[in-house]
Amino acid sequence: MSETIQPAIILVRPQLGENIGKAARAMLNFGLTDMRLVAPRDGWPNPAAGPAASGADVILDNAKVFDTVEAAIADCTTVYASTVRDRDMPKPVVTPRVCSAEMHAAIARSERPAILFGPERSGLSNDDVALADTVLTVPVNPEFGSLNLAQAVILLAYEFSQAVDKTTPIQPAHPDGAAPKSEFLGLIEHLEAALEGRGFFRSEDRRATQKRMLQNLFHSAGWSTQEIHTMRGIIRSLTRDGQGE
């Protein structure tokens, strides 16, 4: 029997076990079960999560833990970054309702979407957002845009559950399917190594910013597996002398 695909709910560097438990409770209320934790501050499992989950222990018991965001999204094809801040990045911005419709359409194509939620105090970093395809923003009161972690999760979970019978089919960007993030991140690493070998990153002060710009530039294009293989072949052809491999 094939696995039922669901959106991956990824909590990035969550701080309090209680908030992880409340997020699990929010997920299970609307049938979402794929929780992923990236570098939880207090380790995992966390004894404070269980009581806060109010019976949603199955989510906590099956939660997957990762060291990095890159590892957590490796099997996903489309990643949304939940943030209310303007990041001045060239990424599309959608509401939870639009995001939910897009995710249902992706799942119908056997693709796995994911949503990143940042730590309670600071939210997602610019490096986290750079790994996403799309920014997910809740249209809250501009004078008071304060949502806690569980509120953000339950709002998205509710919209996803409501969109199930209302999704307008969305045509895929690639007939052969979008590439999983593991392949895309491999392409980025290959490109960065090639550029490093050619002396592209000359300024240490600008290195991190330049790498984010490359991430954003290539994310905006969208990639199929075949396109990634072709691009990596091009990079290898340009570095035949051994540099950048």
* Whether residue 119 sits in one domain with residue 55: yes
User: Average pLDDT, stretch 125-134?
Assistant: 93
User: Residue 175 falls within a domain, yes or no?
Assistant: no
Q: Which of 111, 101, 96, 81 is nearest to 223 (CA)?
A: 111
User: Residue 172 falls within a domain, yes or no?
Assistant: no
What local confidence, expressed as pLDDT, does residue 3 receive? 63
* Whether residue 56 sits in one domain with residue 140: yes
* Whether residue 81 sits in one domain with residue 50: yes
Domain count for the chain: 2
C-alpha distances out from residue 91 to 85, 132, 134, 173, 218, Å: 13, 9, 6, 16, 11
* Whether residue 132 sits in one domain with residue 35: yes
Please say whether the beta carbons of 115 and 138 come within 8 A.
no
What local confidence, expressed as pLDDT, does residue 186 receive? 85
pTM, rounded to two decimals: 0.77
Structural domain boundaries enclosing 38: 8-165
User: Residue 49 falls within a domain, yes or no?
Assistant: yes
Bond prior to 45 in cis (omega within 30° of 0): yes
* Whether residue 190 sits in one domain with residue 90: no
User: Residue 222 falls within a domain, yes or no?
Assistant: yes
Q: Which of the listed residues 119, 136, 165 is the one where a domain comes to its end?
A: 165
Confidence of residue 192 (pLDDT cuts 50, 70, 90): confident
Q: What is the DSSP letter of 85?
A: S
C-alpha distances out from residue 109 to 97, 102, 114, Å: 19, 11, 15
C-alpha distances out from residue 75 to 7, 10, 28, 88, 111, Å: 11, 13, 22, 27, 9
Question: What is the CATH number for 188?
Answer: 1.10.8
Q: Which tens digit of pLDDT belongs to each residue from 217-227?
A: 777 666 778 88
Q: For the chain, how far is it from start to end, CA to CA, in angstroms?
A: 41
- Output the DSSP codes for 158-184: HHHHHGGGTPPP---SSTT-BPPHHHH
Q: Which of the listed residues 130, 165, 200 is the one where a domain comes to its end?
A: 165
User: Residue 1 falls within a domain, yes or no?
Assistant: no
Does pLDDT of 183 surpass 80? yes
Residue with tokens 């794929």, as numbered in its chain: 34
Question: What is the CATH number for 110?
Answer: 3.40.1280.10
* Whether residue 120 sits in one domain with residue 209: no
C-alpha count within 13 angstroms, C-beta hemisphere, residue 108: 15
User: Residue 200 falls within a domain, yes or no?
Assistant: yes
